[in-house]
Amino acid sequence: MALPNPTPTEAPSRRTLEWVRPPQQARSRATLDRLLDAAERMLSEKSWEESSVTEIARRAGSSVGAFYSRFPDKDGLLHALHERFVAEAFATTDAVLHPARWEGATIGEIMKATVAFCVQIYRERAGLIRAFMIRASSDPMFRERTLQLRRHMTERLRALILARRKELLHPAPAIAAEFTTRLVHSMLQAQVFLGDTPDPSSRLSEEQMTTELIYAALAYMGVFGTDALDS
């Protein structure tokens, strides 16, 4: 469930992009959220295959019995994690790419902030995203939820770009918006899934990755002469 879109008078600063967690009914979801949070923390340390129900329950301050009263098995928990992540990502996309946030901003400014935010999220939640990617390769439900999220992100970004089509040299702004979304997320997914390049001399820091992705996106769309990278 997405949060209400901010009105122009209450739109947050475009410089402070944050992950959105939709509000839940605290009491009814307390144990469930502890289990989900524990599983997500575990995925920052080890793969999903290496994780166990016993350890997840222990880290959540719960019991194996409480786990199985909510999930049929470990895969059920992974599905719940993915559902929560997608719901949060929908809400975050609505907040981050809301037109009111970017009123008066250039495409360069939009891409600088949003690409940096995406790089941050992929770094902070790399283990979780990696587990989702592996499962999506064989699970139609994971794949469909992921595709719905990507379509939503693309639609939001496309709206911002089409409103500024005069800034583009690309002859097809709608296609440019979709391809730019794919470009950024594909590069970040590859890094999450495959890790750094084996050659230490060619590895990019988070800041370098952000800069190069911004340059690539702007150059592809034909946005030249922008000072966004220097602001």
Identify the band that residue 31 occupies on the pLDDT scale cut at 50, 70 and 90.
confident
Separate counts of helices (H) and strands (E) for the chain? 9, 0
Give the domain 27-71 fold. Answer: Arc Repressor Mutant, subunit A (1.10.10)
Q: For residues 10 and 101, which has the higher predicted lDDT (pLDDT)?
A: 101
Q: What is the predicted pLDDT for the residue at 152?
A: 96
**Which residues fall within 8 angstroms of residue 31, CB to CB, at 6 or more apart?**
60, 62, 66, 70
Identify the band that residue 15 occupies on the pLDDT scale cut at 50, 70 and 90.
low
pLDDT of 111-157, one tens digit each? 999 999 999 999 999 999 999 999 999 999 999 999 999 999 999 99
Q: What is the predicted pLDDT for the residue at 193?
A: 84
Query: Whole-prediction pTM value?
Result: 0.84
Is residue 61 packed enough to be buried (19+ CB in 10 Å), middle (13-18) or exposed (0-12)?
Answer: exposed
Domains of the chain, residue spans? 27-71, 74-223
In order, the DSSP letters of 80-132 are HHHHHHHHHHHHHHHHHT-GGGGTT--HHHHHHHHHHHHHHHHHHTHHHHHHH
End-to-end Cα, the chain, rounded Å? 34
Identify the band that residue 217 occupies on the pLDDT scale cut at 50, 70 and 90.
very high
Give the domain 74-223 fold. Answer: Tetracycline Repressor; domain 2 (1.10.357)
Identify the band that residue 23 occupies on the pLDDT scale cut at 50, 70 and 90.
low
Given a cut of 90, whether residue 5 has pLDDT beyond it is no
